[in-house]
Structure 1
Amino acid sequence: MSVELIVSQFSGDLFRGRRILVTGGAGFLGSWLCEALTILGANVSCLDNLSTSRVENIMHLKKYGNFKFIKADISEYHPEGFDFIVHGASLPSPDDYMRRPVDTMLPNSLGLLNCLEAARKGSIVLYTSTSEVYGDAEIIPTPEDYWGKVNPIGLRSCYDESKRFGEALCMAYYRQYGVDVRVARIFNSYGPRLDPESRYARVIPRFIMQALRNEPLTIHGDGMQTRSFTYVTDTVNALIKMLINDGVRGEVVNIGSQNEVKIIDLAKMIIRLTGSSSKIVFTEARPDDPRRRCPDISKARKLLNWEPKISLEDGLKYTIEWFRRQLNG
């Protein structure tokens, strides 16, 4: 499933000549967004320090004259001259951000501050937040006006609370300085370009690689916890719609699937789709791991005319095919 599925839904010259900075642009979501925006005619600057991302994700974009890569840390970089800034730089894996808590907090504080200061000169800022701001939500499906249930000093707080701070900082700049900010609360997204060999891989790439190698699939906890998974083309489609839709200025919008899936059922599905002989094993639950995760996307439907199109089974098939090619070299 290629980026053309995204591009085909927009005018070919939608961003012609517009200058767009994508922080974390060599990562999973960032690289898909960079590619779509480049094909749509934008002058795309991809900024990434490559601490958790891979330059292989963007190598194919260097052939375009309207794409450039900047190796830098957004916490130390001061953007200038952009029409749009998409701030996506972050450590996305729970194991990774619990191992590197300070590195996790800086992009969502100092890094975002640099983006917002630059935006005071006229840029639009799209901040990619997360469903983690809801913590262990008590309302399912969870609407944007739910305030969340988060442990502010727990092992996950470096990510949860820095994202919550980032949202608050965006709204402060919107209210005090009139900066055009848009906040996307992204629920679990997956697809090709997730790092297949990362020691700190997220659940879908970890399960797929274990299944392809016929190794046990390791579930943290009892497997009854739920998540809502959105295929990458659907997620990026929503992000582009947030860039072009002035109706979401100063708004927070859930971006995710309303198909709530138990982790044990996800594991069984991946074993079936890969034809694996893997068994399922259970390990100790992660601290503060939310029991359920499912968005209310009525706001996205209303403001963006958006909802996911790719089913979990189809999305997993595309992802497994890509991972299989990576494993075979």
Structure 2
Amino acid sequence: MDSNLNFGVDPSKRILVTGGAGFLGSHLCEKLLGLGHEVLCVDNFFTGRKENIAHLLGHPRFELVRHDVCLPLYVEVDQIYNLACPASPAYYQRDPIQTTKVSVLGAMNMLGLAKRVGARVLQASTSEIYGDPRVHPQTEDYTGNVNPIGLRACYDEGKRCAESLMFDYHRQHGVEIRVIRIFNTYGPRMASGDGRVISNFIVQALAGVPLTIYGDGSQTRSFCYVDDLLDGMVRLMDASPGVTGPVNMGNPAEITVFELARRIIEMTGSRSRIDRHPLPADDPCRRKPDITVAGKLLGWQPHIPLDEGLQKTIAYFRSTLAQRSDAPAPVLETTA
């Protein structure tokens, strides 16, 4: 076991998860409960969904609080996972000013809380801070190729500022921080109309409507199944003091958007065709994480191959869409 991991300590902690009713947050709440922790789930349900955490409401170590992280929160906790923020273009471009506020004010409020109570805080950052990268694969020391005034800037720049705040609070106040840069992650509980490429392709394929590709489909993405991502996230939070990050986490297996569409059509048995539309502004052409740091510091690497993860995700959408026969086909806003 890597010396940076402290899994021998008492695992019973009170842990705050902001954005805990979202796709990643709800899975994280489940995982932390399974590890024996008390979990305080905070969400304002702007993009989070109550059905994601409904099965946890009766758990004796789970508590739900409806709260906007743009406002201060006064609780006693040992650790804070700050996941609160719309994470897909369809959502974060709906109210870009609020998106920036959530990233910046939310980080400030969680850091203020961590400072007051002596908690460790993990910031869920993103591969989007690299912009449309000129370095491939992306390493943590790459500072990015970003557009600070584009349509995606509310999210990209908000997350970049949140990282700055994390390290300033660490340097100035000694707050224990962890920064994870999350690459494309997928799995059950993704929202059907959130603008992410895997969920949209699956929903479109199951509905028998055309799969929408932007550009010629040659742009690449790397997809990490949610269980692998959460394992890395918890490893980073529980690493020895001094392991601040940033740490890339994602699956470095790269695939073109066109090949992903073709594979999902095949796996769903769909007769959908593929339609092409103009590429949105600032959409990255290539995206692939270099996860060397995560391997060295945390002993982490993803294990679930894309086809296995897609099978689980397709099964989830088959089930949920069968219960919502009136669910409309989503409008794909990006290839994120």
**Which TM-score applies when normalising by structure 1?**
0.94
Question: Which residue number in structure 2 is paired with residue 21 of structure 1?
Answer: 16
Q: In the alignment, residue 226 of structure 2 is paired with which amino acid? A: V
Q: Say whether residues 1:233 and 2:241 are aligned partners.
A: no
- CA shift, 1:249, in A, is 3.0
Q: Say whether residues 1:310 and 2:304 are aligned partners.
A: yes
Q: In the alignment, residue 153 of structure 2 is paired with which amino acid? A: S
1:177 to 166, 173, 176: 173
Would you say the 8 A contact 2:176–2:241 is kept in 1?
no
Q: Secondary structure at the match of 1:328?
A: helix
Q: Secondary structure at the match of 1:145?
A: coil
Would you say the 8 A contact 2:7–2:238 is kept in 1?
no
Structure 1 stretch displaced more, 21-30 or 217-226: 217-226
Q: Say whether residues 1:95 and 2:110 are aligned partners.
A: no
Q: In the alignment, residue 146 of structure 2 is paired with which amino acid? A: V
- Pair 1:306–1:86, CA change in 2 (3 A): same
- CA shift, 1:107, in A, is 1.4
Q: Secondary structure at the match of 1:250?
A: coil
Report how many residues are paired: 317
Alpha-carbon distance in structure 2 between the residues aligned to 1:307 and 1:144: 16
Q: In the alignment, residue 290 of structure 1 is paired with which amino acid? A: P
Q: Say whether residues 1:113 and 2:108 are aligned partners.
A: yes
Structure 1 stretch displaced more, 25-34 or 91-100: 91-100
Q: Secondary structure at the match of 1:171?
A: helix
Question: Which residue number in structure 2 is paired with residue 7 of structure 1?
Answer: none
1:291 to 285, 293, 315: 285
- CA shift, 1:13, in A, is 9.0
Question: Which residue number in structure 2 is paired with residue 244 of structure 1?
Answer: 238
1:90-239 to 2 correspondences below 5 Å: 90-121=85-116, 122-196=118-192, 198=193, 200-239=194-233
1:49 to 34, 41, 44: 44
Q: Say whether residues 1:280 and 2:287 are aligned partners.
A: no
Alpha-carbon distance in structure 2 between the residues aligned to 1:291 and 1:120: 39
Q: In the alignment, residue 135 of structure 1 is paired with which amino acid? A: G
Which structure carries more relative contact order (alpha carbon 8 Å, separation 6+)? 2
- CA shift, 1:250, in A, is 2.3
Q: Secondary structure at the match of 2:143?
A: coil
Alpha-carbon distance in structure 2 between the residues aligned to 1:119 and 1:279: 50
Q: Secondary structure at the match of 1:246?
A: coil
Question: Which residue number in structure 1 is paired with residue 78 of structure 2?
Answer: 83
Q: Secondary structure at the match of 2:46?
A: coil
- Pair 1:272–1:105, CA change in 2 (3 A): same
Q: In the alignment, residue 130 of structure 1 is paired with which amino acid? A: T
Question: Which residue number in structure 2 is paired with residue 66 of structure 1?
Answer: 61
Would you say the 8 A contact 1:258–1:295 is kept in 2?
yes
- CA shift, 1:308, in A, is 0.4
Q: In the alignment, residue 147 of structure 2 is paired with which amino acid? A: N
Deviation per CA, 1:260-283: give whole Å up to 9, x if none: 111111100100100100000011
Alpha-carbon distance in structure 1 between the residues aligned to 2:290 and 2:318: 33
Alpha-carbon distance in structure 2 between the residues aligned to 1:79 and 1:21: 11
- Pair 1:206–1:299, CA change in 2 (3 A): same
Q: In the alignment, residue 255 of structure 1 is paired with which amino acid? A: M
Where do 4+ consecutive residues of structure 1 move more than 4 Å? 10-14
Would you say the 8 A contact 2:201–2:211 is kept in 1?
yes
Q: In the alignment, residue 63 of structure 2 is paired with which amino acid? A: K
Q: In the alignment, residue 180 of structure 1 is paired with which amino acid? A: E
Identity of aligned residues (%): 48
Q: In the alignment, residue 88 of structure 2 is paired with which amino acid? A: S
Q: In the alignment, residue 144 of structure 2 is paired with which amino acid? A: G
Q: Secondary structure at the match of 2:148?
A: coil
Q: Say whether residues 1:271 and 2:268 are aligned partners.
A: no
**Which TM-score applies when normalising by structure 2?**
0.92
**Unaligned stretches of 5+ residues in structure 2:** 1-5, 324-336
Question: Which residue number in structure 1 is paired with residue 327 of structure 2?
Answer: none
- Pair 1:325–1:47, CA change in 2 (3 A): same
- CA shift, 1:11, in A, is 7.1
- CA shift, 1:77, in A, is 3.4
Q: In the alignment, residue 213 of structure 2 is paired with which amino acid? A: I
Q: In the alignment, residue 298 of structure 1 is paired with which amino acid? A: T
- Pair 1:321–1:173, CA change in 2 (3 A): same
Would you say the 8 A contact 2:219–2:284 is kept in 1?
yes
